[in-house]
Homo-oligomer: A and B are copies of this chain.
Amino acid sequence: MHIDLAKPILDKNEKIAAENRALFDEKGIFVLDLMASPGSGKTSVILATIEALRDKYSIAVIEGDIASSVDAEKIKAHGIPAVQVNTGGACHLESDMVRRAVEVLDLDNLDLIIIENVGNLVCPTDFYLGENMKVMILSVPEGHDKPLKYPGVFQISEAIILNKVDTMPVFDFDEGEFRKSVGELNPKAPIFPLAATKGSGVTEWTSWLSSHIDAMPSRR
């Protein structure tokens, strides 16, 4: 029953997402949709990514949350344009929310838009927003068994950031098991171990991201 009722929403979402995509292509803007659980360090990863890439690209951020604007405030404090989108209860962003958010951005002078999706490992996987790629973050405290429990988000992600690796000694996280499970679900996706707040592992991730930005057809 769920699936039938949701279909009109998904169709409408796909249509607007395609329009977003066309607009981003026209402007030569690479768009990254970042998905993760609450508290996995999405905002910290975004801040570390900005610091690594801000000299090379002009960056803006769209912050999706059920409520509050704390994340957008954090990003703006670093001198980066940020738009907060409050979903008012919905567990994911939809393409029309992104369309309204980009209306306030100066698209002619942007290279990269990072979308921080609502903290959730389930809902955001079903909604194409017009992004170039979806990337997910799992943080070490969440546990190495998450690929077994939330396979969809691991399958749809083009890369997987393993954040808070500096806390591995505190938690019973089996990195071998984690890599094995991810490898079965999504063998092509690279895994980037990161400690975003400490800055470690950031260069590997941002070099990979940068190579994808530079390879975007409308930017070459």
Whether B70 contacts A142 by the Cβ 8 Å rule is no
A56 within 8 Å of B by Cβ?
no
Q: CA A76 – CA B67 in complex, angstroms?
A: 38
Q: CA A117 – CA B132 in complex, angstroms?
A: 33
A9 within 8 Å of B by Cβ?
yes
Q: CA A38 – CA B153 in complex, angstroms?
A: 12
Q: From residue A148, how far is it (CB to closest CB) to chain B in Å?
A: 4
A156 within 8 Å of B by Cβ?
no
Nearest residue (CB) in B for A121 is B38
Whether B119 contacts A119 by the Cβ 8 Å rule is no
A179 within 8 Å of B by Cβ?
no
Write out the residue numbers on chain B whose beta carbons fall within 8 Å of the beta carbon of A152. 66, 89
Write out the residue numbers on chain B whose beta carbons fall within 8 Å of the beta carbon of A39. 37, 139, 141-143, 146
Whether B37 contacts A148 by the Cβ 8 Å rule is no
Write out the residue numbers on chain B whose beta carbons fall within 8 Å of the beta carbon of A145. 68, 70
A149 within 8 Å of B by Cβ?
yes
A 172-188 binary contact with B (CB < 8 Å = 1; else 0)? 10000000000000000
Q: From residue A27, how far is it (CB to closest CB) to chain B in Å?
A: 29
Whether A151 contacts B91 by the Cβ 8 Å rule is no
A90 within 8 Å of B by Cβ?
yes
Write out the residue numbers on chain B whose beta carbons fall within 8 Å of the beta carbon of A148. 67-68, 70
Nearest residue (CB) in B for A166 is B170
Q: From residue A210, how far is it (CB to closest CB) to chain B in Å?
A: 28
A164 within 8 Å of B by Cβ?
yes
Q: A141-B39, A148-B70, A149-B65 are in contact. Are A119 and B121 (CB under 8 A)?
A: yes
Write out the residue numbers on chain B whose beta carbons fall within 8 Å of the beta carbon of A123. 91, 122-123
Write out the residue numbers on chain B whose beta carbons fall within 8 Å of the beta carbon of A68. 145, 148-149
A 115-127 binary contact with B (CB < 8 Å = 1; else 0)? 0001111110000
Within 8 A of B (CB), among A1-40: 1-2, 5-6, 8-9, 37-40
Q: CA A25 – CA B155 in complex, angstroms?
A: 42
Q: A123-B123, A139-B141, A167-B170 are in contact. Are A151 and B66 (CB under 8 A)?
A: yes
